[in-house]
Amino acid sequence: MKADSKPVAPAQAAPARGGFSSTLGALFATIGSAVGLGNIWKFPYLTGENGGAAFIIVYLLSTLLVGLPIMIAEIMLGRAAHANAIDTLRKLAPKKSFPWWIIGAMGALAAFLIMAFYSEVAGWVFAYIVKAFSGSILSTDPAVTSQGFTSLVSSPWLSLICQWVVLIVVSFVLIRGVSKGIEATTRRLIPILFVLLIIVGIRSVTLPGASQGLAFLFTPDFTKLTGDAVLIALGLAFFKLSIGMGTMITYGSYYRDDQNVPVSAIRAMGSDLLVSLLAGIAIFPAVFAFGYQPDAGASLLFITIPSVFASMPLGNIFMVVFFILAAIAAMGAMLSIMEVPIAYLSEQFSLSRTKATLITAGLLALIGSTAALSNSVLADVKVLGFTFFDLFDYLTSNIMLPIGGLLIAIFVGWVWGPEKIKSALTNQGALKNQGLVNVIIILLRYVTPLLVLVVLLDGLNLLPF
Ligand code: PHE
């Protein structure tokens, strides 16, 4: 045997990392991450608050011109390094350059902040499945459904317990591992989610008076669009595609080397968009058909929607179905948020998955309690005018994720460079997708960073004009 072809001794080999077992499994996990409360809770209420179709168009443009290129870039980086988000940037950045691993570190922080409020909303969704079964929130009078919601969120113990239940369920899946836990769960749940959503959607559009809701969704009125709304739409695009915080880097690190990254990302983005639109179609026609207002804000899902369901025949059954599908969506997303710190902790400190998961969940119970108690004991504690719940939400979607995404685009487009991108996205020339890759490179270098920068500065009122 020649000296240079010696096999690596097992003792020196990197410790085996988990990974997705198949291309399809990776795709389901990625869709599971993207599809979540962002589609079922945020997208409808933000669309309702910001005037409907015009907001959706800005959101669509943000998704295509900013979200998709960054999503592809992140999966590509993770796949190239096969490491957690922080180590991926450490490995791929040139020595003695800007400390790019900070993107990964900021991402891990964002993961905690997002999960802090996300697990609380997911907790309400879990609670609403029970409430929907018992029929206790089914009333056509929003004052009654509002009372039902307030009694839940203003109880400190109920809020904390909802959050803990969620953290325990999610941790249980995560401990089982990337393939047996995340992949197996999302693969089973995502198809069910689509079926349930289509059932509720058909019910909604076949109601008499549904057309007003469809017009709200699909006929744009740009006079309603503010600079603030543009930043919110961009932030939503980041949040929806789980980008700007290392989630897609981490999931990319579990992708197989022969997977077609751009095509998988496009499929995941398309599925995510479809679920958002289906959620809009399931909600707004029904809201308008029964004469409710679309601009209730964050409580749209928990106050308006139960009243809407109460107004329709067999509404109790549709409501149970609706909250189950919301819980399914939340589940896949939470797995991916928590995976960012779990992958880092287990690799950096050689911890078992179980230990890393328990530490992450414990920290989350602590940080998350500030969001969980934002409607009760901590309601009067304001930072920059926000409760903790609203602060974490605003700070992550509208500031941290866009900054993270901007840095990723700059790193990939200008530091890593076109040659390496070409090689990585064509699987070293094995895929014949040159044209697509060229478009992605142009977007990543010029269009994406510029758009994020302008919208971010404008949304924060930092532009001189
Ligand atoms: N994309 C998820 C949703 O729409 C939320 C999420 C954000 C997941 C960031 C991971 C990272 O609900």
**68-80 residue pLDDT tens:** 999 999 999 999 9
What pLDDT band is residue 11 in, cutting at 50, 70 and 90?
A: very low
Look up residue 280 and give its two tokens: 């809009």
In this prediction, residues 297-302 reach a mean pLDDT of 89
Q: How far apart are CA 389 and CA 378, in angstroms?
A: 10
Cα 119 to averaged position of ligand 1 atoms, centre (Å): 11
| SS3 letters across 95-125 | CCCCCCHHHHHHHHHHHHHHHHHHHHHHHHH
Cα 249 to averaged position of ligand 1 atoms, centre (Å): 14
Q: What's the pLDDT score for residue 10?
A: 43
pLDDT in tens, 144-162: 999 999 999 999 999 999 9
Look up residue 191 and give its two tokens: 């198809």
Q: Whose CA is nearest to atom 6 of ligand 1?
A: 242
DSSP per residue over 313-377, as a string? TTHHHHHHHHHHHHHHHHHHHHHHHHHHHHHHHHHHTT--HHHHHHHHHHHHHHHHHHHHGGGTT
Q: How far apart are CA 12 and CA 341, in angstroms?
A: 25
249 lines ligand 1 (CB under 6 A): no
CA dihedral 324, 329, 332, 335 (to 10 degrees): -80
What pLDDT band is residue 461 in, cutting at 50, 70 and 90?
A: confident
pLDDT in tens, 23-54: 999 999 999 999 999 999 999 999 999 989 99
pLDDT at 402 over 70: yes
In this prediction, residues 403-422 reach a mean pLDDT of 97
What pLDDT band is residue 137 in, cutting at 50, 70 and 90?
A: confident
* Ligand 1 atom at minimal distance to the Cα of residue 36: 12
Q: How far apart are CA 153 and CA 143, in angstroms?
A: 15
Judged on CB neighbours under 10 Å (0-12, 13-18, 19+), 2 is: exposed
Q: What's the pLDDT score for residue 13?
A: 42
* Ligand 1 atom at minimal distance to the Cα of residue 329: 12
Q: How far apart are CA 454 and CA 85, in angstroms?
A: 26
Q: How far apart are CA 457 and CA 446, in angstroms?
A: 17
Look up residue 440 and give its two tokens: 């992605």
* Ligand 1 atom at minimal distance to the Cα of residue 38: 4
Look up residue 378 and give its two tokens: 């901590």
Who contacts 3 (Cβ-Cβ below 8 Å, separation ≥6)?
none
Q: Whose CA is nearest to atom 9 of ligand 1?
A: 242
Q: Whose CA is nearest to atom 10 of ligand 1?
A: 242
- Judge contact between 238 and 405, C-beta under 8 A: yes
pLDDT at 213 over 70: yes
Q: How far apart are CA 347 and CA 357, in angstroms?
A: 12
Q: What's the pLDDT score for residue 274?
A: 96
Q: What's the pLDDT score for residue 14?
A: 44
User: Which amino acid is present at 74?
Assistant: E
Q: What's the pLDDT score for residue 228?
A: 85
Q: What's the pLDDT score for residue 188?
A: 94
In this prediction, residues 267-287 reach a mean pLDDT of 95
- Judge contact between 204 and 282, C-beta under 8 A: yes
Q: How far apart are CA 328 and CA 326, in angstroms?
A: 5
Q: What's the pLDDT score for residue 340?
A: 98
pLDDT in tens, 217-246: 999 988 878 888 999 999 999 999 999 999
Q: How far apart are CA 340 and CA 115, in angstroms?
A: 11
3 state SS of 379: coil
pLDDT in tens, 92-110: 999 988 999 999 999 999 9
C-alpha distances in angstroms, 336 versus 94, 107, 185?
A: 28, 12, 12
Q: What's the pLDDT score for residue 199?
A: 92
Nearest 5°: the CA angle 168, 170, 171 is: 65
In this prediction, residues 277-297 reach a mean pLDDT of 91
What pLDDT band is residue 17 in, cutting at 50, 70 and 90?
A: confident
Q: What's the pLDDT score for residue 16?
A: 65
240 lines ligand 1 (CB under 6 A): yes
Report yes or no on whether pTM surpasses 0.85: yes
Cα 450 to averaged position of ligand 1 atoms, centre (Å): 23
